Amino acid sequence: MRTRLFLPDGYTPDTPVVIVMHGASRDADRYFTDWSAAGAERGFAVVVPEFTADDFPRAAAYNLGNVIDPDTGQPTPRASWTYSAIEPLFDEVVARIGGRQTGYAMYGHSAGAQFVHRFLYFVPDARVTQAIAANAGWYTMPIPEQDWPYGLRGTGIAEADLDRTLARPLVLLLGEEDNDPQADKLRKTPEAELQGAHRFMRGHTMYRVAAAQAAARGVAFGWQLQTVPGAGHVNALMTAPAAALVR
């Protein structure tokens, strides 16, 4: 898996690391350009793995993590999950840069945001210090009774792991102008439409449902919702607000 790495001037073994997940267009170069500029300004390392359409075809193998076989509907072995690539990647990066980092921030935009929030469900012990999901087109709700991929039924995710996910530091970062019901590549299934007419609305639905789940389950709720004025469905407009959250 080709991975791009940026180290800022003044890098030390304790410099923060952010792993950046690209969108469905698989345009890792553009994400690297946006985020390396932010890393240079704010002094953090940037890691952009490239999940090509050849190796990780369609949503099933990328933003849905290859956790369920689309042909059989059965769970796949953990070793074959796309989500299982991230923790070893972090270890490899730390080894190569001579780091002492024990955790990493994680950002994704659009399909990458889908990857990020689902990653937290399936890898609840991931060493993520701050997760940021920007402008996801639709969500897997933290509802055990709703079928995958719109909910968690059929995934085998334990109740205790769901509680841990609800407590994780996740920011749903939404562009206030990402509100076009006819936007390109916006999922239009009945289940997705129930989340809202457009991405901005769907992000609010996700936050509201997750907060209600945490309250009903009696667990700490670690998520936040933040909006970006003037920003549509453009990664470059979301990078600076997201970079300010990296820790």
Domain boundaries, the chain: 3-243
Give all strands (DSSP E) within the chain, no chain letters. Answer: 3-6, 17-21, 45-49, 104-109, 128-134, 170-175, 224-228
Beta strands in 7-77 (DSSP E): 17-21, 45-49
Selecting from 3.40.50.300, 3.40.47.10, 3.40.50.1820, 3.50.50.60, what CATH number does the domain 3-243 have?
3.40.50.1820
**CA dist., res. 93 & res. 121, Å (int):** 23
d(CA 156, CA 164): 15
- Determine the pLDDT at residue 217: 97
Amino acid letter, residue 200: F
Question: Could you list the pLDDT tens digit for every one of the 247 residues in the chain?
Answer: 899 999 999 999 999 999 999 999 999 999 999 999 999 999 999 999 999 999 999 999 999 999 999 888 889 999 999 999 999 999 999 999 999 999 999 999 999 999 999 999 999 999 999 999 999 999 999 999 999 999 999 999 999 999 999 999 999 999 999 999 999 999 999 999 999 999 999 999 999 999 999 999 999 999 999 999 999 999 999 999 999 999 8
**pTM, to two decimals:** 0.97
